């Protein structure tokens, strides 16, 4: 499975840790930056990761900024993207099982390394349940078409 990853400077350290973890687990990873701690605006990176997922070049994405807020709000502007900002393993599981989130957003200044990696692991191994949740996700897609004209 190919995973697109990206961060701003506030998420750089955690993004690097997540990247190492994913490569260690034999995932294919495309890193859209940041490549160092120099200040960069999170919408630019959020867009790159989101487009990679939207275009099917990557199956899923993981994005990190200081809080995870700015980069997830940015990624969610791209049609087809359901970016979930997650700080606990239960929400990580539910964001996949019920919301079919295709991008995981993390706060590099919020989470400790061990919790962040547990969230990543849970998120990647949880499948979408479909059924009644599919109807609801389809309604999210309807909202997207309704207001993106």
Binding footprint of ligand RB5 on the chain (CB under 6 A)? 8, 10, 42, 65-67, 69-70
**Minimum CB–partner distance for residue 67 and ligand RB5 (Å):** 4
Q: In the 8-state DSSP scheme, what is residue 39?
A: -
Shortest distance in whole angstroms from residue 72 CB to ligand RB5: 8
Helix (H, G, I), strand (E, B) or coil at 31: strand
Residue 43 or 128 with smaller CB distance to ligand RB5:
43
d(CA 82, CA 95): 9
Q: How far is it, in rounded angstroms, from Cα 43 to Cα 133?
A: 29
Tokens standing for 96?
């996949």
Catalytic residue among 40, 62, 65, 111, which? 65
Please say if 65 is a catalytic residue: yes
Q: Identify the H or E element spanning 60.
A: strand 60-65
Closest approach, Cβ 142 to ligand RB5, in A, equals 28
**Which is closer to ligand RB5, CB of 3 or CB of 14?**
14
Cβ proximity of 119 and 134 under 8 Å: no
Nearer to ligand RB5, 68 or 120 (CB): 68
Residues with active-site annotation: 65
């Amino acid at each position: 499975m190919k995973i697109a990853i990206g961060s701003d400077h506030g998420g750089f350290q955690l993004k690097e840790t997540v990247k190492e973890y994913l490569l260690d687990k034999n995932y294919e990873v495309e890193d859209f930056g940041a490549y160092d701690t120099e200040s960069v605006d999170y919408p630019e990176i959020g867009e790159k990761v989101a487009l990679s997922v939207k275009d099917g070049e990557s199956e899923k994405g993981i994005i990190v900024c200081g809080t995870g807020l700015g980069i997830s709000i940015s990624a969610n502007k791209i049609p087809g993207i359901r970016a979930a900002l997650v700080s606990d393993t239960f929400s990580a599981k539910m964001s996949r099982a019920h919301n079919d989130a295709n991008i995981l957003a993390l706060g590099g200044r919020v989470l400790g390394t061990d919790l962040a990696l547990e969230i990543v692991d849970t998120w990647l191994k949880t499948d979408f349940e479909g059924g009644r949740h599919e109807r609801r996700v389809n309604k999210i897609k309807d909202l997207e078409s309704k207001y993106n004209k």
